[in-house]
Amino acid sequence: MTENTLPLEARFRAALDALVAQIREDRSVLAAILGGSLSHDTVWERSDIDLVLVTQDDKKAGPGGYTLDADGVHVHAWLIQRSELRRVVDGALHNSFVHSFLAKGRLLYTHDDTLAALMERVRDVGARDTELQLLRAGIEVLGPLDKARKWIRTRGDLHYTALWILYAATPIARLEIVGRRLIADREVIPQAAKLNPALFDVIYTGLLDRPKTRESVEAALDLVVGYVRERAPSLFAPVVEHLREVGEARSATEIDEHFRRHLGVEHVSAACEYLAHEGLVGRASAPVKLTKRSNVEVQEMAFYALGD
């Protein structure tokens, strides 16, 4: 940490301490949780302070948050009622943004000991949560991966292909972190690059720092393709399990609706298309009417589980 950073961080902490001491006298505010850079990262001159204030359960509660002034420092104060915080912690997908924010946050004080226990519980990452976050990140890789393959094959455009590989680096970073049952930072690529430097030297820093040749871009693309292919059976296991459970072909719309409604995961049919291309699920079609008034049927893509 440089000499210039020390007084800056000290100023932020002094401003926070003074504000929290003031808020602590408000008995309708049960707890304060510090998140963001001041909690677990490095502040700079344009940083702000992220603060979660847990309030009593009150139907007459005010707005959901305020931008406060703490001795010239911007403080984003998010107000959440105690019952809502419990609902968020118990219902949030672990390693989602909300979960990561709370898990990496620091409880500054509380007038309710049950909230301290709640903050301890939010740091536990369960197997099912990990499985669903891996599925979500795996799906997020597929779009940029398809674009990168398209642009190298149809245009030979090295720069645009490299850009799409760089887009894929963020969800790949999440896969590296979540797969180790760690809590993802907002800046996931630097975090993941420490865990797997060889991978990110090729698909991230190498594409940024070194001249883009056909050989280097194709090597990065091949590495991403192989990375996803090797992990596909585990990344997309919930999809295959669902198709096995239903025991018959399901349309893309039915699959998307099931995962959206029951698990909060979007665009699962994209994973089905990938799995079908890789020979891991079967592809079929199902009749569908485009509107409630339609008198004709067209065929929608459908997918089914293959035998063991």
The full set of domains in the chain, from first to last, is: 5-121 (3.30.460.10), 127-235 (1.20.120.330), 246-305 (1.10.10)
- Residue pLDDT, tens place only, 121-155: 776 666 777 888 899 999 999 999 999 999 999 99
pLDDT score for 59: 66
Q: Work out the mean pLDDT of the chain and round it to a whole number.
A: 88
pLDDT score for 116: 87
pLDDT score for 147: 97
Q: Which residue has the higher pLDDT, 252 or 65?
A: 252
Coil/strand/helix, residue 74? strand
Question: What residues form DSSP beta bridges with 29?
Answer: 55
On whether the pTM is more than 0.85, the answer is: no
Q: What average pLDDT does the segment 76-90 reach?
A: 84
Residue 303 has pLDDT above 80, yes or no: yes
Residue 103 has pLDDT above 90, yes or no: no
- Residue pLDDT, tens place only, 157-193: 999 999 999 999 999 999 999 999 887 777 899 999 9
Confidence of residue 97 (pLDDT cuts 50, 70, 90): low
The tokens 């645009």 sit on which residue?
A: 160
Q: Which helix (H) or strand (E) holds 282?
A: strand 281-288
Confidence of residue 64 (pLDDT cuts 50, 70, 90): confident
Q: What average pLDDT does the segment 200-204 reach?
A: 97
How far apart are the C-alpha atoms of 37 and 32, rounded to whole Å?
A: 16
Residue 221 has pLDDT above 90, yes or no: yes
User: Is the distance from CB of 24 to CB of 109 less than 8 angstroms?
Assistant: yes
Q: What average pLDDT does the segment 249-270 reach?
A: 95
Confidence of residue 83 (pLDDT cuts 50, 70, 90): confident
Confidence of residue 269 (pLDDT cuts 50, 70, 90): very high
Residue 266 has pLDDT above 80, yes or no: yes
pLDDT score for 58: 76
Residue 1 has pLDDT above 60, yes or no: no
pLDDT score for 38: 72
Q: Could you please report the per-residue DSSP string of 17-66?
A: HHHHHHHHT-TTEEEEEEESHHHHS---TT--EEEEEEE---TT---SEE
| Strands (E) located in 104-228 | 106-110
- Number of CB atoms found within 10 A of residue 76's CB: 15
